[in-house]
Amino acid sequence: MKIFFLLVLSLILIYSCSTQKEIVKEKITIEKSDSIAAKKEYSFSFEVYSKKINSNLRGLSVVDSLTAWASGSNGLILKTTDGGKSWKEFKVKGFETLDFRDVEAFDENNAIVMCVDAPAFFFKTTDGGKSWKRKYMNRNPNIFFDGFAFWNNQKGIALSDPIEGKFYIVITDNSGETWKEIPNMNISSALKNEGGFAASGTSITVFGKDLVWFGTGGAERTRIFFSEDAGLNWRTTEVPIKSRNSSSGVFSIAFKDELNGIAVGGDYKDLKNSISNCAITDDGGLSWQAIEKNNPFGFKSCVAWNEFYQIYFSTGTSGTDFSSDFGKSWKFIDNKSFNTISISKKDGTTFLVGEKGIIAKLNINMK
């Protein structure tokens, strides 16, 4: 949403050069709810990598244990190839002031970044960030991209706030080299003031070969749109996450499989309010159930599934939580402020980024 974009544009701070490992001292002991009798003990520690970064980071894509990409305001793009110990900085020549709200990385050489606001741009690198080529541009004054997601290294989808009353969607089938608009006759009209959020690039998510979901807010009802054919045809359903104003709604969605998923959000102007901030589905998004007890703490801008550890994580400026029972209950980990969490599908490596240029690696231990 553009209101959200303008509010957070000023939340930028330079922080000192150092590398600090911060340990969460409390060990959290829980019992799996999926018929596993033995208790599982999880402990977490953050490795916070600090350097002089004048950027509010929101884009994040973790490839594997060594490689991750991040992006943010002031045209900054970052890459690590040593597991977070060092980060190289890149900028797109001639576009040094853009806000890159989302990044999709395929490996250490190939990545795409998204500038969300008008004019909107997608830039791609194939040489590890040394050079960037423009692959998409949209000058419509109402364009505002909320994020993109990829089913695989070839096929992806990008979501914008409504234009002329309907959400605007473009797709690619060649690794972002070209993008084409999806006709909007098969998607419901947007409600008054309805839009998505670009807080983490994860208000849209995909799974399998063709499944895609995106969440909305700002209207009288909170909705999730879903498609089973890669965005050609859409259905909508209401979700029990509050959307009382332009600052509230669904901010992020993640699915562990074709049926089971989680939506999180809340109100970014009411950080500590945990009411109606999480909902789960077990039927592929046809219906959603509110988590009203032991739900995540406060406003959440991102949720992600760690297949390796079988854990959901949610994060936001209110802190980070985890769930080991598929979202039915949550445990608070730490109150560090983040915008985005990303997890490698290959090995479970987990990074977080946020305002004031924070970058952190989350180490997970399970007994």
- The CA-to-CA distance between both ends of the chain, in Å, stands at 42
**Model pLDDT, residue 29:** 40
**How distant, in Å, are the alpha carbons of 212, 226, 269, 329, 348 from that of 312?**
19, 21, 24, 10, 11
The fraction of the chain above a pLDDT of 90, given in percent, is: 85
**Model pLDDT, residue 247:** 95
- For 189, residues 6+ apart whose C-beta sits below 8 A from its C-beta are 165, 166
Domain residues for 205? 2-366
Residue among 88, 85, 128 at smallest CA distance from 110: 128
Written as six digits, the tokens of 351 are 């990074």
Residue among 240, 218, 238 at smallest CA distance from 292: 240
Written as six digits, the tokens of 53 are 């970064």
C-alpha span between 338 and 354 (Å, rounded): 4
Per residue in 207-231, pLDDT (tens digit) is 999 999 999 999 999 999 999 999 9
* DSSP track, 283-314: STTSS-EE--SSPPSS--SEEEEETTTTEEEE
Return the C-alpha torsion angle 262, 266, 268, 271, nearest 10. -100
- Residue of higher predicted confidence among 11 and 129: 129
Average pLDDT taken over every residue of the chain: 91
The SS3 call for residue 194 is coil
**How distant, in Å, are the alpha carbons of 5, 182, 321 from that of 26?**
35, 49, 13
What kind and span of H or E run contains 71?
strand 68-72
The fraction of the chain above a pLDDT of 70, given in percent, is: 89
**Model pLDDT, residue 54:** 86
Q: Find the mean pLDDT for residues 328-354.
A: 97
What is the separation of C-alpha 352 from the centre of its chain, rounded to a whole number of angstroms?
10
C-alpha span between 322 and 296 (Å, rounded): 8
Residue 22: is its pLDDT beyond 50?
Answer: no
C-alpha span between 50 and 365 (Å, rounded): 23
- For 364, residues 6+ apart whose C-beta sits below 8 A from its C-beta are 42, 43, 44, 306, 309, 311, 348, 350
Return phi, psi of residue 176, to 5°. Answer: 80, 10
**Model pLDDT, residue 32:** 40
Per residue in 184-213, pLDDT (tens digit) is 999 999 999 999 999 999 999 999 999 999
Written as six digits, the tokens of 39 are 């208790």
| CB-neighbour burial class of residue 39 (10 A; exposed 0-12, middle 13-18, buried 19+) | exposed
Structural domains of the chain, count: 1
Residue 176: is its pLDDT beyond 90?
Answer: yes
Written as six digits, the tokens of 288 are 């959603």
Yes or no: say if 113 and 98 are a contact pair by the CB < 8 Å rule. no
C-beta neighbour count of 91 within 10 angstroms: 16
Per residue in 97-114, pLDDT (tens digit) is 999 999 999 999 999 999
Residue 8: is its pLDDT beyond 50?
Answer: no
**Model pLDDT, residue 2:** 55
What kind and span of H or E run contains 236?
strand 235-238
Written as six digits, the tokens of 142 are 């109402």
Q: Specify the residue for token string 């801008």.
A: 301
| CATH code of the domain covering residue 125 | 2.130.10.10
Residue 17: is its pLDDT beyond 50?
Answer: no
